[in-house]
């Protein structure tokens, strides 16, 4: 996503997959709060989880930060992987199509841990 298109207060979506075939999407909605620099001076973007945003407002505003507020700093290259609702719908639909074509794969249980994967 073009990071110059981010709008403060709008919700964007971080899409992850549980499997290598990209058939099992996980979606995390996050609210854009603004551009900022981290402690090292790296420029990026600040997001907040939607639940705390609805309950407490922006974690960047006000004098007191509520303990339930979860802020997320993302560098430009990471923020580019976020989706708006339209792109998210397309990506989840494509994941469903891949799942159907692969006969709905299941996740393996890695009893031996990550080493054997």
Q: Is residue 83 situated within a structural domain?
A: yes
The reported pLDDT for the residue numbered 64 is 65
SS3 40: coil
Asked whether residue 70 is domain-assigned, the answer is yes
CB 87 within 8 A of CB 16: no
pTM of the shown model:
0.84
Q: Residue 39: its pLDDT value, please?
A: 83
Q: Is residue 109 part of a domain?
A: no
100: containing domain: 3-104
Number of structural domains the chain divides into: 1
Q: Is residue 21 part of a domain?
A: yes
Give the ranges where 34-84 is alpha helix by DSSP (H): 50-56, 76-79
Following DSSP, what letter does each residue of 9-23 receive, concatenated? T-EEEEEEESSTTS-
Q: Per-residue pLDDT for the chain (117 aa), expressed as one digit of tens each?
A: 888 899 999 999 999 999 999 999 999 999 999 998 888 888 899 999 999 999 999 998 866 677 889 999 999 999 999 999 999 999 999 999 999 999 999 988 877 766 655
């Amino acid at each position: 996503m073009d990071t110059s298109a981010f709008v403060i207060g709008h919700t964007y979506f971080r899409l992850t997959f549980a499997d290598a075939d990209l058939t099992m999407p996980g979606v995390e909605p996050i609210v854009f709060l603004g551009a900022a620099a981290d402690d090292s001076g790296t420029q990026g973007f600040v997001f907040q989880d939607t639940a705390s945003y609805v309950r407490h407002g922006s974690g960047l505003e006000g004098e007191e930060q509520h303990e339930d507020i979860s802020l997320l700093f993302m560098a430009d290259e990471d923020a580019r992987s976020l989706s708006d609702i339209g792109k998210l719908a397309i990506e989840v639909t494509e994941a469903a199509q891949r799942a159907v074509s692969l006969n709905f794969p299941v996740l393996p249980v890695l009893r031996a841990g990550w080493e054997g994967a």
